[in-house]
Amino acid sequence: MTFYQKLRLAQRKNDTLLCVGLDPEPSRIPRSLRRRGNPALEFNRRIIEATEDLVCAYKLNISFYESSGARGWDTVHRTLASIPRGLVTIGDGKRGDIRNSSEKQAGLFCDDWKFSASTVNPWMGFDSVDPFIRRKDRGAFILAVTSNPGSRDFQHLKVRGRPLYEHVIAAAKKWNLRRNIGLVVGATRPADLRRVRSLVPEMPLLIPGIGAQKGDLAATVRFGCDPKGEMAVINVGRAILYASGGADFAEKARTAALAYRDRINAYRDKYFG
């Protein structure tokens, strides 16, 4: 099964484009879990149990785990083991280095941790991306237009009359021989999102910036989906994870995830019928 096929199946099975970002911040984990042996792992497990029927994917920002040393790496393994096999898992590490270094990075993300997909920085060119896209069942979301304030420092620079990010997209299209490449495009840039989708009508887009970053959800669905109303992976993290700081955090996370899922689907019905 190709990465594209797995993503479509997950979106259709649960009728959702929602991705939950599992980025546990120790200071925000409810007090009821802090005496556990591994509070972050228990927090993740409870969030997964509460939301697994509402999502197509879970995304783990690796920085939240690497900062905990060896226990964080173990938490990644055990969190992934808690996620139902039919769902997509995304290792958000924004890797990409010279070939021999990228080989090691891809070995960790694709073969050891076994993420369905990884986020990859294309700045160093094809040889830095290639190790992540060799297997048709493993995907890579290449950074194109990110949601952070500094994204315009480089991504919108004009190169031969076009913004730099469009050159990244053109390269990604050439590299997509196994149909396993997607792009990262922030929800805080709706005009850019619309432009990107016009350039890649069928490629999956990982779209952060909804929720705490206040991206436009209606525009995200309208401009982020493919012509079938699919292939947008809309990530929400803090607005779901921390919907409550109390013992009812998992219940409140489910309520928030359900609300996002239903709003997304309402816009899908509106724009794609």
Which residues form the catalytic set? 94
For residue 88, give the nearest of 51, 54, 58, 44 by alpha carbon.
58
Q: How far apart are CA 220 and CA 208, in angstroms?
A: 10
| Token digits of residue 262 | 């239903």
| Token digits of residue 195 | 């432009």
Cβ within 8 Å of residue 169, ≥6 positions away: 144, 183, 196, 199, 200
Helices (H), the chain: 3-14, 39-51, 63-66, 70-82, 99-106, 126-129, 164-175, 190-199, 217-224, 238-241, 249-272
| Token digits of residue 161 | 């009359």
Q: How far apart are CA 129 and CA 158, in angstroms?
A: 23
Q: How far apart are CA 3 and CA 179, in angstroms?
A: 7
What phi, psi does 102 have (nearest 5°)? -65, -30
Q: How far apart are CA 227 and CA 212, in angstroms?
A: 28
Instruction: Please name the amino acid found at residue 203.
Output: M
- C-alpha angle 184/186/188, rounded to 5°? 175
